[in-house]
Amino acid sequence: MGERSRWSANKVFTGRLAVLLLAGGDDHWSLQPIERPALPQLERSQWPRNPVDWFVLAQLKAAGLDPGPEADRPALIRRLTFDLTGLPPTPEEIDAFVADPDPDSYEHQVDRLLASPHFGERFGRMWLDVARFTESQGFEYDKLRERAWHYRDWVVASINADLPYDRFMMLQVAGDVLEPVAREGLVAAALLVCGPWDEAGNGQANETQKAITRQDELEDLIGTVCQAFLGMTVHCARCHDHKFDPIPQTDYYRMQSVFAGVRHGERALATAAEIDVREARLAEIARRQALLEGELAVLDARGRTRVLERRAPIGQPTVNAPVPRSRWRFEGDLSDEIGSLHGRLEGSARLERGRLLVDGSESHVITAPLKVDVREKTLEAWVALETLDQGGGAAISLETGDGQVFDAIVFGERQARKWIAGSNGFERTRDLDAAGEDRGPGELVQMAAVYRADGVIQLYRNGQLYGESWTPSSAPIDFRAGNAHLLFGMRHRGGANAFLRGEIEEASLYDRALTDDEVSQSFEASGFAMSETERVAALTPAEQIERSRLLTAIVEVRAERDGMPALELGYVGRREQPVPTALLMRGDVKSPGEVVTPGALSCVNVPFGDFPIAADAPEADRRRAFAFWLADPHNPLPARVIMNRLWQWHFGRGLVSTSSDLGRSASRPTHPELLDWLACELHERGWSLKSLHRTIVTSATYRQSSVCERRSLATDADNLLLWRFAPRRLEAEMVRDAILKVSGALDERIGGPSFRPFEALPFPANTYRPLDLDLPGFRRRSIYRMNVNSGKEPLLDVFDCPDPAIRTPVRGSTTTPLQALAMMNDPFVLREAERFANRVLDETDGGLPAAIDRAWRCALGRAPLETEAEEALVLAREHGLRLVTWTLFNATEFIDVR
């Protein structure tokens, strides 16, 4: 049963003490302490196999009904295998079970399947529905989340390892701050951010609208935590006290205070200690590297100077290079060597080896304001990008004092690896038909943007035209003296993703539009374009030897740096210390009310449940306190909620049918004592869910046949009293997975990055066009499909696969003509039917009758009836076996479990 955590070692409070604790609490059933119910007093019966059955039997008897007979063994093993793994049993597995004389043979099968790695995939998928796990942002941009899958893998692995459920809950709200912090805790807490996120709304200029976006984000988070673990619709109290449940609006904002420091985004999947060690090491390497590169830069500068000296007499430029109004060489300082627009380092920007180094995290240089008005102009910079996989930063930008209007040379903002003349709202920006950048780290590129007085704009790269010129519809900007300045390494102030990662060797501002020739001359004259051979040849032999030594040493030190394993990133959310949370009157961001302290549900009576922490408590303390409150065995909700879910996952319907809502407006439990008995057992068994799964599926209730008995049907058509096992259709992913399993094509690898059955059409918003790809990586189980918001997978969609961004405690189960069309015509189904036909032919080599027999066993878990076999044979002879296998995929028996 695994190690019991400290907080689960306590016994459940029962009896008088709990009643006293509850004084003043609410009388709604789900908020009452969990008391172990007595087993119903019934006449002797052979039917019950465990206490579950006594509770079920009592209610059947009260209604004058009898339980149904046990299902036959082939049906039982097919049901159990689908139920516990999401996949059909193989014919061999069925045969082995049917032939096993051991009286405990069914229990052996249960244990085998509970130990299967596919068990976690099956119930993990259901948890991901509750967690609204998505791998794209949703909203306008709907960008892919490349590294969200770690959470999915953690869920699957935790379920497989039977992580105690209290720990399962705690890690998902505070895993990154619960000692001992480990990678799994960081990943588990991704629950808080694995839903949709509005990047456009967060990046926009209007503060009120931005605040509303953030409030929506927190409602999604709080709604998810409270529905998933507590079965309470706390988010209903965002604007007013809950209408049905005893949840005052203060509770909502106290919980908001708990989670107010949680932000969307990626973070390194490493502990703070691991990161510190690594950074110290990196800093040491960087120091050595800087030393070596500095020496190399001195030598190279010497070579360059000698070449230029030879080309022309000292003091005269080699070619007629245009003279800028201002130029920054970054040789040890930020002075403007021609004008007086001296610069200032901001953030972590620094000068090294005669270059300005910017690292993409708010580092940049800002200059003094313009001394003269500038309209017609040329911006020029020599820049080496640290990586080509960046976007939005600028080498050089001229912006107004308030940062609202700017012209800039921007890299990768709208299209990967392309340069553009960036501008406010893209007003003077065009995407250019030019080659993507290919210069590697450290390699300089000259970029220039010419803005003519008549409005024409032209970009240049290394002295050559970069794309065509264009004339934007708006007039050129007058940048006024005193109210404009330059930025290096930043696009403009106030913009998202505005920072460059790289090195700037030199930058110039011309107060006129250079001609094509002049840009080219500037490129030639700089010397940066000089070939390495030429530069090296100008060095003395001793200098050349020294240079070789330095180069070798630099290669070594770089290798040492690159050899350090990169920190793995995951979409697990970022953290910040939030300001104290104020209640918002009517939920209106412009009407803040009283400041609240972090807290949880006031209607749940947990001793010391009122967190003794202040409104400005450290972020981590808040979630830690909440985690302990959540898993406190006096909190009656989590055990009831999860046991009800377990029941639903096995029977298709919960004892409470609204499984994320156990509040007053929810359904009443059909078997309240049974629910409490299960919840009680969960506490007693150290929160082991696997143990409870076992209890449920070994019950006589679960083993009933699905036969529809007329009298019972007349009394209880919905089978609320469980007089049979209600047949149900496979869930969307199970339909697809079963087809792959049966055709023999299923790739059963567990975990890792998701496969992507779509074409992503990026820029500026992602949309997705579904693709049917018959490639190995695409034949994995559907839980490993990258589940994006704005592009639905057609086959899964018609079978009620929910939008990923919606919390889905109960899936729909419809029957529609679109499902029939998908099963009839989808290329995937046809292809796998063909594969299935070939598979059974290969496996039998006894001709068609044997192949047909095997096809039935693989797809339906039973031998064909005589008429079925005869008709199938006729069909196969005339049209091929693939028509028969296609028919099997389309048969109701294939997609139903009974």
Partner 1 sequence: MSADPAPPRAGAPLDRRDFLRESAIGLGGIALSWRFERDARAQQAPSRLPSQAPSHGYSHFPPRARRVIQIFCAGGVSHLDTFDFKPELSRRHGSELTSKGENKGFFGQPGRLMQSPYRFAQHGGCGTFVSSLLPGIAGVVDDLCVVRSMVGRSNNHTPATFQMNSGFALNGFPCMGAWLSYGLGAHGEDLPTFVVLPDPRGMPAGGSINWTAGFLPAQHQGVPLVPGSAAPIHDLSTPAEVPARARAAGRIFRDRLDRMLEARVEGEAGLEARIRSYELAARMQISVPEAVDIDGESASTQCLYGIDRPESAGFGRNCLLARRLLERGVRFVQLWNGGAFGSPRINWDGHENLRENHDAQAATMDRPVAGLIRDLKQRGLLADTLVVWTTEFGRGPSTQGLDSSGRDHHPDAFTCFLAGGGSRAGHVHGSTDEVGYFVAEDPVTIPDFHATLLHLLGIDHQRLTFHHNGTARRLTDVHGEVVTGLLA
For the segment 272-311, give every residue that binds partner 1 (CB under 8 A). none
- The contact pattern for partner 1, residues 170-209, with x = CB under 8 A and - = no contact, is --------------------------x-x-xx--xxxxxx
Q: Does 806 bind partner 1 (CB under 8 A)?
A: yes
In the region spanning residues 215 to 244, those forming contacts with partner 1, defined by CB under 8 A, are 216, 220, 223, 227, 232-233, 236, 243-244
Rg (CA), the chain: 34
Cβ 592 to partner 1 shortest distance, Å: 16
Q: Report how far residue 58's alpha carbon sits from residue 41's, in angstroms, rounded to the nearest whole number.
A: 8
Which burial class, exposed, middle or buried, applies to 876 when counting CB atoms under 10 A from its CB (0-12, 13-18, 19+)?
A: buried
CB atoms within 10 A of CB 536: 15
Of 475 and 537, which has the nearer Cβ to partner 1?
475
Ramachandran region, residue 704 (left: φ > 0; alpha: ψ -120 to 50; beta: rest): beta
Nearer to partner 1, 50 or 813 (CB): 813
Q: Which is nearer to partner 1, 264 or 353 (CB)?
A: 264
The interface with partner 1 within residues 458-477 (CB under 8 A) comprises 472-475, 477
3-state helix, strand, coil in the chain (%, to 5): 45, 15, 45
859/758 Cα distance (integer angstroms):
28
Q: How far is the CB of 188 from partner 1 (least distance, A)?
A: 23
> DSSP code of 776?
G
Which long-range contacts (C-beta less than 8 Å, at least 24 apart) are formed by 235-243? 238/584, 238/587, 239/586, 239/587, 240/586, 240/587, 242/663, 243/665
Q: Name the one residue in this structure whose structure tokens are 């005669």.
A: 354
**What whole-number distance in Å separates Cα of residue 577 and Cα of residue 247?**
26
Q: Where do we find the tokens 């400290």? A: 6
* Binder among 271, 335, 602, 887 for partner 1 (CB under 8 A): 887
Residues 417-436 that bind partner 1 (CB under 8 A): 424-427, 430-431
Residue 13 or 799 with smaller CB distance to partner 1: 799
Nearer to partner 1, 347 or 455 (CB): 455
Binders of partner 1 among residues 481 to 500 (CB under 8 A) are 494
Helix (H, G, I), strand (E, B) or coil at 262: strand
544 vs 658, beta carbon nearer partner 1: 658
Hey, which residues between 626 and 665 contact partner 1 (CB under 8 A)? 653, 657-658, 660-661, 663-665
Considering only 28-36, 538-546, 622-630, 798-806, which stretch makes contact with partner 1 by CB under 8 A? Answer: 798-806
892 contacts partner 1 (rule: CB under 8 A): yes
The distance from CA 856 to its chain's CA centroid, rounded to whole angstroms, is 39
Of the two residues 142 and 153, which places its CB atom closer to partner 1 in the complex? 142
* Residue of the chain from 666, 678, 742, 848 that contacts partner 1 (CB under 8 A): 666
How far is C-alpha 807 from the chain's CA centre? Answer: 15
Number of residues that bind partner 1 (CB under 8 A): 127
- Fill in the per-residue mask, 732 to 771: x = in contact with partner 1 (CB under 8 A), - = not in contact: -------------------------------xxx-xx---
Q: Choose one: 355-363, 557-565, 636-644, 792-800; the region binding partner 1 (CB under 8 A).
A: 792-800
Structure-token pair, residue 736: 């697809």
Helix or strand run (H / E) with residue 487: strand 484-488
In the complex, the smallest distance separating the C-beta of residue 713 from partner 1, rounded to whole angstroms, is 6
Q: Are strands 728-729 and 574-575 parallel, antiparallel or unpaired?
A: unpaired
Structure tokens at 49: 């196999």
β-partners of residue 464 are 461
One of 71, 734, 740, 798 touching partner 1 (CB under 8 A): 798
Task: Find the shortest distance in angstroms from Cβ 540 to partner 1.
Answer: 54
Work out which of 438, 710, 775, 866 binds partner 1, going by CB under 8 A.
710
One-letter amino acid for residue 484 of the chain: A
User: Among 716, 747, 748, 843, which residue sits at the site for partner 1 (rule: CB under 8 A)?
Assistant: 716
Stretch that binds partner 1, among 23-31, 330-338, 437-445, 879-887 (CB under 8 A): 879-887
Residue keyed to tokens 């999604």: 220
* Least gap, CB of 140 to partner 1 (angstroms): 4
Question: Of the candidates 507, 545, 620, which has an alpha carbon nearest to the alpha carbon of residue 176?
Answer: 620
> What residues from 347 to 386 belong to the interface with partner 1 (CB under 8 A)?
none
Smallest distance, partner 1 to C-beta of residue 5, A = 30
- Return phi, psi of residue 129, to 5°: -60, -45
Please give the structure tokens belonging to residue 166: 């209290």
Q: 811-850: which residues touch partner 1 (CB under 8 A)? A: 812-822, 824-827, 830
Contact criterion met (CB below 8 Å) for 245 and 603 = yes
Q: Considering the complex, state which of residue 212 and residue 567 has its C-beta at the smaller distance from partner 1.
A: 212
Closest contact distance (angstroms) between CB of 389 and partner 1 is: 21
- Residue of 369, 727, 744, 753 interacting with partner 1 (CB under 8 A): 727
> Does residue 720 interact with partner 1 by CB under 8 A?
yes
Closest CB to partner 1 among residues 162, 731: 731
Shorter beta-carbon distance to partner 1: residue 628 or 886 = 886
A 10 A CB-CB count for 164 gives: 24
- Residue 789 binds partner 1 (CB under 8 A): yes
Closest CA to 98 of 896, 894, 862: 862
Tell me the backbone φ, ψ of residue 94, rounded to 5 degrees: -65, -50
The number of C-alpha atoms within 13 Å of 462 and in the hemisphere containing its C-beta is 12
Residue 180, preceding peptide bond in cis (omega within 30° of 0): yes
By C-beta, is 529 or 707 nearer to partner 1? 707
Amino acid at position 504, single letter: I
Name the residue with tokens 């044979």.
873
Q: Which of 805, 855, 873, 881 binds partner 1 (CB under 8 A)?
A: 805
Interacting residue with partner 1 among 90, 335, 691, 890 (CB under 8 A):
890
Out of 80, 721, 742, 841, the only residue in the binding site for partner 1 (CB under 8 A) is 721
Query: Cα separation of 110 and 107, whole Å?
Result: 5
Token code pair at residue 275: 């990161």
Residues written for the chain? 898
How far apart are the two ends of the chain, measured CA to CA in Å?
Answer: 31
- What distance in Å separates the CA atoms of residue 300 and residue 297, rounded to the nearest whole number? 5
Residue 138 as a binder of partner 1 (CB under 8 A): the answer is: yes
Nearer to partner 1, 65 or 169 (CB): 65
Whichever of 102 and 433 has its CB closer to partner 1, that residue is 433
Query: Could you give the CA distance from residue 419 to residue 392 in angstroms, rounded to a whole number?
Result: 10
How far apart (Å, rounded) are the C-alpha atoms in residues 807 and 515? 59
Q: Which is nearer to partner 1, 620 or 810 (CB)?
A: 810
Contact status: 797 vs partner 1 (CB under 8 A): yes
The one-letter amino acid at 689: L
Q: Which stretch binds partner 1 (CB under 8 A): 66-74, 213-221, 447-455, 463-471?
A: 213-221
Nearer to partner 1, 173 or 234 (CB): 234
Question: Measured from the CB atom, is 354 or 849 closer to partner 1?
Answer: 849
Q: How far is the CB of 325 from partner 1 (least distance, A)?
A: 22
Of 115-123, 317-325, 597-605, 796-804: span binding partner 1 (CB under 8 A): 796-804
761 touches 768 (CB < 8 A): yes
- Count of other CB atoms within 10 angstroms of residue 812: 9
Nearer to partner 1 (CB atom), residue 430 or residue 690: 430
| Minimum CB–partner distance for residue 311 and partner 1 (Å) | 44
